[in-house]
Structure 1
């Protein structure tokens, strides 16, 4: 889990919902500043009046920023984006506003835009503080997160290592932020399939946090959960389940039933049991995850959508395709409301709907969902990304089933090119696609 070490503030001004409202608010700000200038103490100098006007502008920008914080906390990400943009428009050089704009674009799946804002925030903080300031480590950590989301884990690692080196110099070994950045390095190495390297970072983060907080702290449970995910990747599922259970027990003791971390750890256990082929047990955990998520967040939270998607996937593996589709559709409706069209979560659920309809023999319907998923992922990641390759492969498979061999070959070739570049020639996925392509070409020649 990647942690955000940002600032939260209180709401002070009512929400601005539309572009028309936004225009009038900006007009109001201008008039407020101009009025403040002209009606200030007549004895004050022009320089003083201008300074007072700038101060008023800063106050209004801070209020917009506070509204953004509240909207973000309430999972109203599009509203948060509007408020952060308003704050930035008023005070463009404020590095904190730039950083929060980056983070909200990151949350919305607009990773390239996020990187642009994080780079501006980093440049601004470098200018103000110079190297070695904690804010630079934070900005580099955010840049690592954004590059990792784009599938550029090696670039992410570069930023995480710079962030880690900085906070080690500032705080020393035993500081909680050092553990956070080590944890993030573990996440990045895990995404590259280097689970053993990830475990090394997770264990350092865990050891440090045990010294800082003791056994029963939520952060300790988080790092145990991440260790579980790394062992899961290595196929050591019983070891993974052990870490997940320790993390869940801690979460239940700390928070009780109705907390997001409890739901998340039940979800992880569901995934581990699913990987062991114990789909009924997986369903039980996913249902408990949905239940906890609903208590913690309510109906339209993205975590609840994720757990419903996973529950649908488990039912799909049990052959209950129509039941799966019901959960996928609930997840999709929620994610569309939260993120809009072009988000990786929306693409993933549409892909799963395509798989379920394909299993029901509804190939045209499957193609419709696979194409929507592909279009979304192309916008998010670009052409040469593994997620895009997986969408191409699914389209190739369903066109193959429909006897459209030429179309199938085209999609298999696109998949193979990306798999070779990202996974290498010897990866099992690369070999499987090469085999399917060769078979399709042979069928075409008949």
Structure 2
């Protein structure tokens, strides 16, 4: 104590051992001394035994008696530890709760312990006395809640280790090595499972709409604090239900997410908690803040970290920024990808300027793989980026001027189209076209390209009438803007001829290809790839028209030319060999076709690899040739192996996978395994309708196969019913005069005759 200036200062050291004895603490069951705050009466979805196991030194614990529970703010760390302390209070002589978010509060918490144990004593150093008591006694539980900086409690942990149990809660994730150094067994707390979330909402509100509760829980990302806030808000607003709260959250996120629902400004809301955290992060790294603002506009899960690299001048800077965000539990990192809770994203979006969305789209555009159609190595990357592309594009306002979004949308739609997601692709192309017309104008080259791609998607979806109309109008505009000899104009003429063929207008297709070939030769030359492609398309159309001899000669000549110009191993040369083998098979030269396919398969595997789509197509065509030669068992084995590989490489819903299933079912039928064939066809029909749509040509083809299988199995009534529906659909989709429609009509007549004969 010092009084005045220039006098003697006397420091009084307190020996805790000489102080009066502490208030008596229970030696047996039940903590007679505790300061636990009140706990929620609704506690669902958490396992207290996991924390108990860590304190006992099991389940990966690095030290007996000391554990840390960490995770995102609002995840329920405090509530978990509080319920543990209350549930197992009878194991301890004393249970003491300290709010440990600052060194000052740690000291105050320990001083309160001293005052509780020495209610009549006046102590100079209450904190030191409390530490002394913890060192001198056993059987206690000390909870250090909401630790912001672990260094604030490091000395305390070292002083009391081995005497009682210590549980720390924190938003910080220091990593296993740091937890081991501190002798704290870590428990990362994640979000609740959906059933627990729904149960909490129902219990707290008394509302029983399970489906609506499920949707709200999804919106809130199963975060306990957000669920409690929502329930409190709903309960305090008469007539408000789960769907109503969801609507408010969508329209007025910041206001609703910042309201605790208790009618007053509360410090403990998801907004207030995460704003404090982001302020701490921002003080340490502006790059981390920028990363967070970008992540807010993307999907919650699985963004490849390298997408974010352009944000930093040095990859090490990005790594440090991500490590900082992860250490505050604002993101999760796993195998090179980053995930963010959807509510954290929503708050980041609500506070972020539009630059965050523009940055996100720019980063995604730079991260796109090349050639979404044939670059197999890029497909996993596409699958990882698609959710983020969808999310970012959905956030764009209808009046946006982001040109990169047009490119992303077009490439994304192209990838989805060739992965069999045709309906989704059409929707995306239509949106890109709308934006292109608004931003670039009717005749901009990018707008014309998008119109071409949209017409191609219509064709892929079996909407050939719309495709023809779109291509015909596009051809007029490209001729006007680019000229008749521009490569893009010639490409449009090629695409239009292809759709004529698909529509059954084979004569028009042949004429169009013949004229186009003349123009390609004149404009681009005999050896240009587009000229060779047109020769291939013309030969294929000859084959479709039944002019198999001309097709075979045309393919043979084209193959000679392709080998000279492109080389034996060029993919286009391999494609021509495939088409020539198909022509041989159509001409009845089945043995020759089989030999050609077998040699082609060997070369495709060598040049393209086992998993390339062209290699898989060659395997499919070889199996078809086996089947056509009566080698049905070999065909079935080949189809079954091919189906496994196409499912692995392309996925269950890819059109080529569905085609393989169709061919396998047909082979079963040829082998006399009609019941298996019908089962396979029926399941395929369900899946085709789901993936491709009811009107897709492949779906209609499967309908026809099912009907024929019914007739073979003697189920004539079912065959008639199926063919009647198919004839109606074919007339509507393809037209009265289409070859498929007429074939279905003839089959229906045969089936009706068989049904009449059966009845008689």
Interval of TM-score (by shorter of Structure 1 and Structure 2): 0.7 to 0.9
Q: How does 1:227-238 map to 2 (within 5 A)?
A: 227-238=538-549
- The aligned residue for residue 21 of structure 1 is 302
Report the structure, 1 or 2, having the larger helix content.
1
- The aligned residue for residue 453 of structure 2 is 142
Deviates more, 1:147-156 or 1:410-419: 410-419
Inter-partner Cα distance in structure 2 for 1:399 and 1:311: 27
- The aligned residue for residue 746 of structure 2 is 432
1:61 aligns with 2:364: yes
Inter-partner Cα distance in structure 1 for 2:564 and 2:478: 31
Residues 266 and 137 (structure 1), Cα distance of their counterparts in 2 relative to 1, 3 Å cut: same
Deviations 1:285-324 (A, max 9, x none): 2223323322332111222121111111111111100111
**Contact 1:393 / 1:415 at 8 angstroms: preserved in 2?**
yes
| Pair member with larger Rg | 2
**Contact 2:463 / 2:696 at 8 angstroms: preserved in 1?**
no
Aligned partner (choices 611, 614, 617) of residue 300 of structure 1: 611
Deviations 1:192-216 (A, max 9, x none): 1112211232233322321233222
Q: TM-score, normalised by structure 2?
A: 0.50
Deviation of 1:281 after TM superposition, in Å, equals 1.7
Q: How does 1:258-277 map to 2 (within 5 A)?
A: 258-277=569-588
- The aligned residue for residue 369 of structure 1 is 680
**Contact 1:182 / 1:201 at 8 angstroms: preserved in 2?**
yes
**Contact 2:703 / 2:726 at 8 angstroms: preserved in 1?**
yes
Q: How does 1:170-185 map to 2 (within 5 A)?
A: 170-185=481-496
Residues 84 and 391 (structure 1), Cα distance of their counterparts in 2 relative to 1, 3 Å cut: closer
1:246 aligns with 2:548: no
Inter-partner Cα distance in structure 2 for 1:82 and 1:68: 15
Inter-partner Cα distance in structure 1 for 2:303 and 2:355: 23
Residues 77 and 371 (structure 1), Cα distance of their counterparts in 2 relative to 1, 3 Å cut: farther
- The aligned residue for residue 329 of structure 1 is 640
Residues 22 and 165 (structure 1), Cα distance of their counterparts in 2 relative to 1, 3 Å cut: same
- The aligned residue for residue 433 of structure 2 is 122
What root-mean-square deviation, in Å, do the aligned CA atoms of Structure 1 and Structure 2 show? 3.1
Deviation of 1:327 after TM superposition, in Å, equals 2.2
Report the structure, 1 or 2, having the larger strand content.
2
**Contact 2:536 / 2:576 at 8 angstroms: preserved in 1?**
yes
1:206 aligns with 2:513: no
Deviation of 1:55 after TM superposition, in Å, equals 6.6
**Contact 1:258 / 1:295 at 8 angstroms: preserved in 2?**
no
- The aligned residue for residue 412 of structure 2 is 101
Residues 129 and 384 (structure 1), Cα distance of their counterparts in 2 relative to 1, 3 Å cut: closer
Deviation of 1:95 after TM superposition, in Å, equals 0.6
Inter-partner Cα distance in structure 1 for 2:386 and 2:453: 17
Q: TM-score, normalised by structure 1?
A: 0.83
Inter-partner Cα distance in structure 2 for 1:100 and 1:252: 32
- The aligned residue for residue 384 of structure 2 is 82
Per chain length, whose mean CA-contact separation is higher, i.e. which structure has more relative contact order (CA < 8 Å, sep 6+)?
Answer: 1
Inter-partner Cα distance in structure 2 for 1:118 and 1:101: 9
Deviation of 1:423 after TM superposition, in Å, equals 5.0
- The aligned residue for residue 47 of structure 2 is none
Deviates more, 1:110-119 or 1:413-422: 413-422
Q: How does 1:339-358 map to 2 (within 5 A)?
A: 339-358=650-669
Deviations 1:211-260 (A, max 9, x none): 23322222211110111011112211121122212222222123323222
- The aligned residue for residue 756 of structure 2 is 442
Q: Number of aligned pairs?
A: 414
Deviation of 1:20 after TM superposition, in Å, equals 4.1
Deviation of 1:90 after TM superposition, in Å, equals 4.2
Structure 2 gap segments, 5+ residues each = 1-298, 313-317, 322-351, 397-401
**Contact 2:426 / 2:458 at 8 angstroms: preserved in 1?**
yes
